[in-house]
């Protein structure tokens, strides 16, 4: 998980040498990083194994995730029900409201990468799984309105206090390792991913 990188003090490189230094911001990230540490300490390991650090994943079949579902899914239902949507206000002076940056990756790309690893069997270890390009939440919101062909109506609300001090304002996967391993397929852009998700799944209430 990208949550293992915390505030990004040591970058966003899928380098096993830095996992002992990482300081995740929440128990979820800590648990993932502790497992990474454990895996590398094992004397007996499978012939091929891969620890994938998923960044901000979105796409079909995330209905069960509730509050933790992607902002895109929540935005879709907000826009459909009231014609507007909300984003978290920035509580960091470096970032404007809606200017928080995350590496959003479409779930179809995750499937493609996992299949590549299974079939090609590159060197075992940790691999980032994002797009390598950070995008603003405001871009996400505008793309969702565009996919629905509706006028933009965006409101900002305070980030809940229970997650405010653990909030990541920036994530961006370094994808060099996966590319060097031979994965050459282009990732969905935020715009093309949202268009596919909204028009071919959410608007049709479609499940896999």
- Judge whether 21 counts as a catalytic residue: no
Distance set, CA 128 to CA 15, 150, 163, 171, 179 (Å): 9, 34, 24, 11, 10
Among 11, 169, 7, CA closest to 95: 169
Please pick, among 21, 37, 63, 65, the residue that the annotation labels catalytic. 65
> Is residue 66 classed as helix, strand or coil in its secondary structure?
helix
Q: Could you tell me what percentage of the chain is helix, strand and coil, using 3-state DSSP and rounding each to the nearest 5?
A: 40, 15, 45
C-alpha of 38 from chain center: 24
- Judge whether 58 counts as a catalytic residue: no
The catalytic residues are: 28, 65
């Amino acid at each position: 998980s990208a949550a293992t990188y915390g505030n990004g003090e040591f970058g966003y490189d899928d380098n096993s040498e830095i996992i002992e230094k990482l300081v995740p911001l929440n128990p979820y990230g800590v648990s993932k990083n502790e497992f990474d540490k454990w895996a590398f300490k094992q004397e007996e390991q499978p012939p091929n194994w891969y620890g994938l650090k998923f960044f901000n994943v979105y796409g079909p079949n995330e209905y069960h995730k509730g509050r933790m579902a992607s902002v895109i899914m929540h935005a879709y239902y907000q826009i459909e029900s009231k014609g507007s949507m909300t984003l978290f206000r920035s509580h960091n002076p470096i970032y404007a409201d809606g200017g928080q940056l995350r590496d959003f990756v479409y779930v179809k790309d995750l499937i493609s990468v996992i299949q590549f690893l299974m079939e090609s069997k590159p060197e075992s270890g940790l691999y980032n799984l994002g797009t390598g390009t950070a995008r603003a939440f405001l871009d996400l919101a505008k793309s969702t309105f565009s996919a629905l062909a509706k006028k933009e109506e965006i409101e900002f609300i305070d980030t809940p206090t229970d997650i405010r001090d653990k909030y990541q304002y920036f994530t961006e996967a370094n994808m060099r390792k996966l590319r060097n391993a031979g994965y050459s397929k282009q990732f969905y852009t935020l715009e093309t991913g949202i268009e596919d998700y909204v028009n071919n799944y959410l608007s049709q209430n479609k499940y896999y």
